[in-house]
Amino acid sequence: MSSNQDISKLVDGITSDPATWTNTSLISVTQLTPSGLDLLMNTSTQMRNLVKDQGGDDRLKHRVLASVFYEASTRTSCSFQTAMMRLGGSVIHVDCGSGGNTSSKKGETVSDTIKCLQCYSDVTVLRHPITGTVPDAVLNGGLQKPVINAGDGVGEHPTQALLDLFTIVDELGSGMDNGNDIEPLTVVMVGDLKHGRTVHSLAKLLARAQFGFLKRPLVLRYCAPDSLKMPNYVKAYVDEFGKRQGFEIIQEECGSIKDAMKNANVLYVTRVQKERFEKEQDYNAVKGAYVIDADLMKEAPEKMIVMHPLPRVDEISTDVDSDPRAAYFREMENGLYVRMAILALVLGKA
């Protein structure tokens, strides 16, 4: 099997042509064009129907996924493993967290470990705590088979952003469903926007999706403590992408969640990422800065959904869980369908 892992694929390489997916590593949301998003979202919906109707099928029979995690995970690793199994494939899961019980403890490089596992498997799902490790392994590691980025330090988490986009459209519609409604999509991102790779990928993906896929203007509101603000490079990407398309994407900083929630469609909450702080006192200074609870939800728009990549610590109180606007567990379920679609497309069996 030859692989499509050249650098040009990292920008705009993935379209509605299934050949652009086959054997292609998925490293960044910047790879996806609007038509590629259309194909992925439609395939994800088919996967949901498949699971609901008959549990799955055998299209990935005799295919093996190597699931390689150098950092903690519950949802991403388990949903990818389940996705593979529901399509008839098999999984080898390698837990390399702090070296785990693997050869990384003996000093083996990430590229060598992946190269070795690719001798046994057809596709690799890789998470690593050091930003840049996943793209570096793909672009410079001499790998032969596709790798899917399952979280690259504080960089990107593209499959989370894709399941988030699927959830937004599933919950709210694409914006043109009710005729010519061009109300903006207003997404409030709350919490640790500095270290949160999910919000980095989601902001970029929403910018890319704005008119091509979502067909409505975009407003992004950022709500974070001063030390955890959305990085300028992400905001600059969003801004430049909008301008290149000839549309301004409004990005606003908001101190108060109450203000930020006005006319919002999505409240996307994130955890303060304790493990990314060098000093515990810096974490203690910002932990608990924003908490969503049932009282706050009384002031939220009637149709605004609450999302969270999970795990949560204390930033969404459990008294919100029974609110129909709490979409975070539906979001998690969607992760299975979107990851089934990604695996099927990358392995040429969609």
CB of 183 to ligand NCD, least distance (A): 29
Taking the least distance from each CB to ligand NCD, the nearer of 151 and 175 is 151
Taking the least distance from each CB to ligand NCD, the nearer of 157 and 208 is 157
Q: Is 61 a catalytic residue?
A: no
Alpha-carbon dihedral angle through residues 113, 114, 120, 125, given to the nearest 10 degrees = 130
CB of 196 to ligand NCD, least distance (A): 7
Q: What count of other Cβ atoms lies within 10 Å of the Cβ of residue 160?
A: 27
Q: What count of other Cβ atoms lies within 10 Å of the Cβ of residue 17?
A: 12
Q: Is 30 a catalytic residue?
A: no
* Cα–Cα dist 230/225, whole Å: 10
Q: Is 191 exposed, middle or buried (0-12, 13-18, 19+ CB in 10 A)?
A: buried
Q: Which residues sit at the interface with ligand NCD, rule CB under 6 A?
A: 75-76, 151, 157, 160, 197-198, 271, 273, 309-310
CB of 298 to ligand NCD, least distance (A): 26
CB of 126 to ligand NCD, least distance (A): 13
Q: Is 127 a catalytic residue?
A: yes
Cα dist. 76→138, 210, 219 in Å?
A: 19, 26, 28
Location of structure tokens 């969003």:
238
Q: Is 195 a catalytic residue?
A: no
DSSP count for the chain of H helices, then E strands: 11, 9
CB of 332 to ligand NCD, least distance (A): 8
Catalytic site residue from 9, 63, 86, 127:
127
Element (H, E) at 121: none
Taking the least distance from each CB to ligand NCD, the nearer of 158 and 175 is 158
Taking the least distance from each CB to ligand NCD, the nearer of 39 and 316 is 316
Location of structure tokens 């991102």:
189
Taking the least distance from each CB to ligand NCD, the nearer of 250 and 291 is 291
Q: Is 75 a catalytic residue?
A: yes
Catalytic residue positions? 75-76, 106, 127, 157
